[in-house]
Amino acid sequence: MKNFNYNYVILFYDVGEKRVTKVFKICKQYLKHYQKSVFRGHITPGNFLELKGKLKKVIDPEYDFITFIQTMSESSFHEESMGNTGIDPESLII
């Protein structure tokens, strides 16, 4: 799976209260806010490195946990959801 061009990422974070806003602020520059601690969206490999670098500086590796799931595009996975998000962060028209 190494030689693929990943262009889409789903990010989950679980960080200490003090660092939540810091992580949130960084993520929202790159990805769309999808759920309380979940971001996702298109990202270029270059921007992905940038994002990881920035996050690395903020988190405490002892306590915090951030995970990225990379896929080729939003069409390469199937998704089911329930309930209502309020605003759709990904719609074309706001």
Partner 1 sequence: MSKSNETRYIFSSGELFQKDFSIVLRKDEKNIYLPIKDTRELYCFNDITLSTKMLQLLSKAGIIVHFFGYHGNYIGTFYPKEQLISGRLTVAQALAYKDKRMMIAGAIVKGIARNIYFVLYHYYRHGKNEFKDYLDWLRKDVPNLVDKTNDINQLLRVEGAIWAKFYQSFRTILPESFAMNKRVKRPPDNPINALISFGNSLLYTKVITEIYHTHLDQAISFLHEPAERRFSLSLDLSEVFKPVLVFKTIFDCVNNRKITVEKHFDKKLNYALLNESGRKVFIEAFEERLNQAFEHQTLKRRCSYKHAIRLDGYKLIKFIMEEKSFTPFSLEDKK
Does position 32 interact with partner 1 (CB under 8 A)? The reply is: yes
**Which amino acid is residue 54, in one-letter code?**
K
**Which amino acid is residue 41, in one-letter code?**
G
Instruction: Single out the residue of 14, 16, 28, 45 in contact with partner 1 (rule: CB under 8 A).
Output: 28
Interaction mask 49-68, partner 1, x per CB under 8 A: --------------------
Bridge partner list, 66? 13
What is the DSSP secondary-structure string of 31-51?
SEEEETTEEEEE--HHHHHHH
Q: Is 14 annotated as a binding residue?
A: yes
Does position 47 interact with partner 1 (CB under 8 A)? The reply is: yes
**38 closest CA partner among 79, 9, 7:** 9
Query: Which lies closer to partner 1 via its Cβ, residue 63 or residue 73?
Result: 73
Instruction: Single out the residue of 29, 35, 45, 52 in contact with partner 1 (rule: CB under 8 A).
Output: 29
Q: Could you tell me how far CA 16 lies from the centroid of its own chain?
A: 17
Residues found near partner 1 in the complex (CB under 8 A): 8, 25, 28-33, 41-43, 47, 73-75, 79, 87-94
